Amino acid sequence: MTERDSVLWVHAHPDETSLGHALVRSGVSRLREAGTRVAVSDLYAMNWNPVLSDADFGTATGGTLSERQKHAATTGRLAEDIRREQDALRAARHLVVSFPLWWYGMPAILKGWFDRVFTAGFAFGVRDEQGRVRRYGDGGLAGRTMLVVVTAGDRATALGPRGISGAIDHVLWPLLHGTAFYTGMRVLRPHLVASADLLDRATFPDEEKRLRDRLDRMNSETAIAYRPLRGGDYDGEHVLLDHVRPGEYGPDVHAVAQGAIRTTATGPASACVRSRGVQRQQHGQCSGAQDQAQ
């Protein structure tokens, strides 16, 4: 990262003594040391209101909630707290989102940040010059990159490709694909800190370094190769064409690289390590010391 870069870091954790908080403090100072502009939205500290309601839209009109939301977004009538977050996002080239994994997902306060900030007319529901809705690989947030930093109680193997919890990129599919990719962002592999409750002072420096290295490389890192809606792989009903991964289904078929790197978790079980040779040659997905170290 350089001094020309700008980051909005959205963090959701109620406990300032948590590992998650410590990693955010460390990551933010690393970015600032590099001269990167960083805005932090610490949702608990801000007492963020996570509940989307018509109160968000002021005097905007429209038959459906999405229409009122879009009208409000495009006429400057959104609630002030939402406008502030949207301005921060407009000014940012990268979005970092950090949270503890709670019941296979993000804390409700963070879900409510996406619900309220990623509005129609801003993040989604925007049209291209031909009048087509821009989505899945294009959208209101095109040009930005998102990195998810997630701590989890589970061990890395359980959140790996054949682990009982499901691979972390599947667990986070609604956020990675349904939210970030849908709105046009480049999506980096999630940065998973597994067995987070067991980490102690002795291992913290390793985790700190692992995150700092990741942040340093946000510009150059290859994004998950999700297939764009208009890249020629889908039909008019948004279904993969018959010849694309025939007979298969599930999140992986929507990425070009089979078994694309799932995560940068600690522990040995990353898909990248296992099939590194093949992937590196075919897709350039697994190059870099970080991948090999996991």
Ligand X SMILES: Cc1cc2nc3c(=O)[nH]c(=O)nc-3n(C[C@H](O)[C@H](O)[C@H](O)COP(=O)(O)O)c2cc1C
Applying CB under 6 A, the residues found at the interface with ligand X are: 13, 18-20, 100-104, 151-154, 196-197
Q: Return phi, psi of residue 246, to 5°.
A: -55, 135
**For residue 165, which amino acid is it?**
S
Least spacing, CB of residue 18 vs ligand X, in Å: 4
Shortest approach of ligand X to residue 238 CB, angstroms?
A: 29
Provide the CB-side half-sphere exposure for 249 (13 A, CA): 2
Q: Which is nearer to ligand X, 11 or 135 (CB)?
A: 11
- Cβ closer to ligand X: 159 or 229? 159
**Closest C-alpha among 148, 149, 133 to residue 186:** 148
Task: Please give the Cα distance from 100 to 95 (Å, whole number).
Answer: 17
CA pair distance 203, 274, nearest whole angstrom: 25
Distance in Å, CB of 153 to ligand X, minimum: 3
Looking at this protein, which amino acid is placed at residue 226? Answer: Y
3-class SS of residue 159 = helix
CB of 152 to ligand X, least distance (A): 4
In the complex, what is the shortest distance from the CB of residue 180 to ligand X, in angstroms, rounded to a whole number? 20
d(C-alpha 86, C-alpha 77), whole Å:
13
Nearer of residues 103 and 249 to ligand X, judged by Cβ: 103
Note the helical H segments in 194-288. 204-216, 271-274, 276-283
Nearer residue to ligand X within complex by CB, 38 or 101:
101
Q: Whose Cβ is closer to ligand X: residue 56's or residue 154's? A: 154
